[in-house]
A and B are shown apart, each in its own frame.
Chain A
Amino acid sequence: MTRRRCCCGTPTCWYFADDFDRSLSGTTDMGADWNEVVGDWGIVSNECVENYSTGGGTADAVIITTQQQPVESAGEQYLQIDIYDPQTGDVYFLYPACTSSSTKGPLEAKFECLDASTSPQTWRVSIGSETETQEIQPNEFGWVRAVCCVDHENGMAKAWMNWGIVATVWDDSADPGAGRHSGFGHDNSVGLVGGIFDDYFVGEPRADDGTICYDCFCRCRNFTPGKELTLTIYDATGRYACTDGVSTTLEWRNDVTKQYWSNEAQVTGPNGVTITIQFMLRCISEDFDQHEGRNFVLSVEFIPGDCCALNVDYCAHGEATSLSTCVPFNLVFGPYRATGAYGDLNCRLCYDPLQEPGITTGSFMIAITP
């Protein structure tokens, strides 16, 4: 078991890593950190291989670490393994939150190489009830990386391939259980070996003091918002009064280029003008401890008419205010204001400042809840 210092003066994040850079006598085992549950695992040329002696892999081969993470973070893991030269038809697994060094947990992340002959390769990634196809470009040495993250407290799981933290699949209602071990495996019973692996890593996403170690899930302290959130406009006054109570469901876009929640709402005012308001909520990663809920930013766009000309700081990428809370999850944004003698003349939301100049100002707030 190893602890790593995250930041100056802060407590540490638990992790276990194995680069397999060692020689074991006759490559007969993996060392004390591993339990060969199914298959014949060993180390060759500083890499982990399975069924290296007879050729051909063992069906459903599994290896689990003997290392356990702290009780406080049981069931919460970031997990990765590098895979060399995958072939079409290969199937690999990550086993998060294993309940012992010989027993898998209730969830597994599955990585199937559908086509290794193309560049990029085509893979199918699954975890929980979610499955997606992903295009993967191996690195210059022929390696790809399989990654998953699980969160027992919030009942969520994510899986993806290669680098970064952009999830391919996210099941927001999949409980990995409270296991403290982890492992990996394959189901490649043809070919020279079942698989060639390197650089195994497992770590707790959060330390017991709340420190973020690996940013798998967008968090508001310990709360992880799901794939659907509800946005509500409230406290709307003056020339924005007709927006009061307008609500829409922000949906997480399952696309690697769209890692955010978004949707739009249409508002028709007493002036008969319909304005579409587009919302996009992003999660940023800074200062989780000090600013509750403030690792979220919201962009708001009005079509037609730029109702945000005087509120550009809020509308482009406004941070949640300090009044946001994580328990209960309630992100507060705003106020969005119409200011000046006639408000924003380009904005005809609820009220036309050119035709009815009586009401010139107004404001509204936005709340985001589960």
Chain B
Amino acid sequence: MSGITPVEQCLCNGDEVRGPNNTFWCKYHQVRKTQHWLKLCRERDEFRAAWNSGTGPGQQKTDAESQPAGPMLGDAVARLLGRIGVTEDRYKEAKERFGLPPTCNCAGRQEWLNRVGLWWSKQPKSAD
């Protein structure tokens, strides 16, 4: 017996400072939660897991407008490398030359960097 109740499993307590419409900022999940979302977080494993992994309700941004005004980090790095001649094809070529598998996962890396940049850009908001 772990002694952990479902209520305690949600990282948000629900006793944070209340905002409009009884919402509160959950600093652990970086999302403004409603009371219903708090209930889902406490009582439903799949929702708690989604918020813990950053894909729960309210955590996803949906369009260009919701992204930072500047270029996304991954996109910016890709553009910078491209400018100095480090393209996906040339990177693969170089790996092959050194006897390494000619793989890149460039798109995945770019997307990961984009997400890191997005997360970083949101950090100041946690003081909300």
Residues of A within 8 A of B (CB): 230, 232, 234-235, 241-242, 244-247, 321, 323, 325, 327-328, 330, 332, 334-335, 337, 363, 365, 367, 369-370
Contact = CB atoms under 8 A, between A and B. Distances in A.
Interface string B26-37: 000001101111
Given A247-B36, A328-B50, A363-B65, A235 B55 contact: no
A328 B44 contact: yes
Contact of A330 (B35, B56, B65): B56
Interface stretch (B17-25, B69-77, B112-120): B17-25
B62 A365 contact: yes
Given A247-B21, A332-B60, 8 more contacts: A232-B57, A235-B32, A244-B20, A245-B21, A321-B62, A325-B55, A369-B40, A369-B57
Interface in B38-74: 40, 44, 46-47, 49-50, 55-58, 60, 62-63, 65-66
Nearest to A339: B65
Contacts, number: 72
A369 B21 CA distance: 18
B36 A332 contact: no
A367 B23 contact: no
A242 B62 CA distance: 20
A176 to B, nearest CB: 23
Interface residues of B, number: 26
Interface of B: 19-23, 31-32, 34-37, 40, 44, 46-47, 49-50, 55-58, 60, 62-63, 65-66
Query: Would you call the interface of chain A mostly helix, strand, loop, or mixed?
Result: strand
14 contacts: A235-B32, A235-B58, A235-B66, A241-B20, A247-B35, A321-B62, A323-B62, A330-B47, A330-B50, A332-B60, A363-B65, A367-B58, A369-B37, A369-B47
Given A232-B37, A246-B21, A369-B47, A335 B62 contact: yes
A232 B36 contact: yes
A59 B49 CA distance: 53
Which has the most chain B C-beta neighbours within 10 Å: A230, A234, A244, A325? Answer: A234
A223 B81 CA distance: 44
Contact of B34 (A234, A327, A335, A370): A234
Contacts of A328: 40, 44, 46-47, 49-50, 56
A327 B21 CA distance: 27
Given A330-B56, A332-B62, A369-B40, A232 B47 contact: no
